[in-house]
Amino acid sequence: MKHGKMFASILLVLLVGAIPLLAQGQNELEYPTKGIEVLVGYSAGGATDIAARLVAPFMEKELDKPVTVINKPGAGGEIAHSATAMAKPDGYTLGYIHAPATISITLNRKASYALQDFVIIGNVVYHENLIVVPPTSRFKTIQDVLAYAKENPGKLTIGNSGAYADDHLASLAFQNTTGVKFEDTMFQGTAPSLVALLGGHIDLVMCNVADIVDKVKQKQLVVLATLGSERNALFPDSPTMKELGFNVLMGNYTTLAAPAKTPAPIIKLLQDTLQKVAASEEYVTKATEMGLPIKYFTAEETTEIYKQQEQRLKELWITLGLPTQ
């Protein structure tokens, strides 16, 4: 009998103790309880910053807590990437990563982070690379360019926005797939490369949709070809390299991510929030007004995209013998 009483009381204690444990499983996720910081690797006013500042207020509305964009420029984005990767994985620090930039940094040098240090929340912006020329150029179609380049390897100069930046990589991938050889001329950003193009100092420029939408509308530039998977609605007359038989797809992804060890329920909430934001009409309207090439991909899709990009870039690096320092 004494043992029985003791046994019963122990059981009672255990049961009572277990209630809070059981209850926690049914608790609402206690997040967010304070403001969230989103790190951007470029200065205020740049493309990523503008996108981040577009998304932030919408997320703020959904999460009911402040979402602040913090600029941490430097080292081509590496400082911000590193800060995001090493931040406390509690869901209060997020950051924007990019393909190919975030990946190419790890291939080009010994980076202070690795792609696996991030867990993806969702893709926000995507625009493909494309090749432009002035309307007065002797090249009227991309085939003209390819034909000339085949006869004169290394003669045609193509400008880009920086060594191993997305435009340069796109050009390298283009040359690798089509078998032609260009002379890549490096500039500090797309704007100077366009100046050189308009002044007739270089033959071609590889850049992104957002860089030249207005200029194409104002007939300053002509898009010879895009490196997307389908024709861009803004340039209906410009073929994709894919439809011409060259499977080179290059573009710029701006993706919201979090430190890899952030707890799964928090990530799920953020992913769902971003999905909601991306689907909201107000968001889409505002982005279109600002000329931002938004393109939402889910976390799964985006993670897959990054895996593929990493694979292709690694191959490109090896094939072309690019420096790894």
d(CA 127, CA 252): 5
Contact between 260 and another protein by CB under 8 A: the answer reads: no
- What's the gap between Cα 225 and its chain centre? 21
162 binds another protein per the rule CB under 8 A: yes
Complex with another protein: residue 65 or 109, whichever CB lies closer? 109
Q: How far is the CB of 268 from another protein (least distance, A)?
A: 28
Whether 273 contacts 63, CB under 8 Å: yes
Out of 109, 242, 276, 295, point to the residue binding another protein (CB under 8 A): 109
* In the complex, minimum distance from the CB of residue 186 to another protein, in angstroms, rounded to a whole number: 5
Q: Do 133 and 139 touch, CB atoms closer than 8 A?
A: yes
Determine, following the binding rule CB under 8 A, whether residue 192 of this chain makes contact with another protein: yes
State how far the Cα of 132 lies from the Cα of 204, in Å rounded to an integer.
6
Among residues 198 and 284, whose Cβ is nearest to another protein?
Answer: 198
What distance in Å separates the CA atoms of residue 69 and residue 38, rounded to the nearest whole number? 5
How far does Cα 83 stand from its chain's mean position? Answer: 17
Q: How far is CA 57 from CA 31, 62, 70, 73, 224, in A?
A: 18, 9, 14, 21, 37
Residue listed under structure tokens 């360019």:
145
Q: Helix or strand or coil: residue 45? A: coil
Q: In angstroms, what CA-CA distances link 96 with 38, 135, 307?
A: 7, 36, 17
Find the binder of another protein among 88, 150, 217, 307 (CB under 8 A).
217
By CB under 8 A, the residues from 278 to 317 that bind another protein are: 289-291
The reply to whether 232 sits near another protein by the rule CB under 8 A is no
For the chain, the 3-state helix, strand and coil shares in percent, each to the nearest 5, are 45, 20, 35
Which of the stretches 14-22, 158-166, 259-267, 300-308 binds another protein when contact is defined by CB under 8 A?
158-166
Residue 185 contacts another protein per CB under 8 A: yes
Contacts with another protein by CB under 8 A: the residue count is: 50
Q: Smallest gap, in angstroms, from Cβ of residue 165 to another protein?
A: 8
Shortest reach from residue 67's CB to another protein, in Å = 15
Q: Measured from the CB atom, is 153 or 265 closer to another protein?
A: 153
Q: Which residues between 86 and 105 bind another protein (CB under 8 A)?
A: none
Residues from 60 through 89 that contact another protein (CB under 8 A)? 70-76, 78-79, 82
**Would you say 154 or 265 has its CB closer to another protein?**
154
How far are the Cα atoms of 25, 79, 101, 110, 171 from residue 255, in angstroms, in the given order? 31, 16, 11, 22, 22
Token pair, residue 37, equals 């910081």
Chain positions 4 to 63 lying near another protein, rule: CB under 8 A, are: 43-45, 50
Least separation in angstroms between CB 9 and another protein: 47
Using H for helix, E for strand and C for coil, what is the string for 80-110? HHHHHHHCCCCCCEEEEEEECHHHHHHHHCC
Taking CB under 8 A as the criterion, the residue among 4, 17, 199, 245 binding another protein is 199
Q: How far is the CB of 108 from another protein (least distance, A)?
A: 6
| Amino acid letter, 102 | T
By CB under 8 A, name the binding residues for another protein.
Answer: 43-45, 50, 70-76, 78-79, 82, 108-109, 112, 154-155, 157, 162-164, 183-188, 191-192, 194-196, 198-202, 214-215, 217-220, 289-291, 323, 325
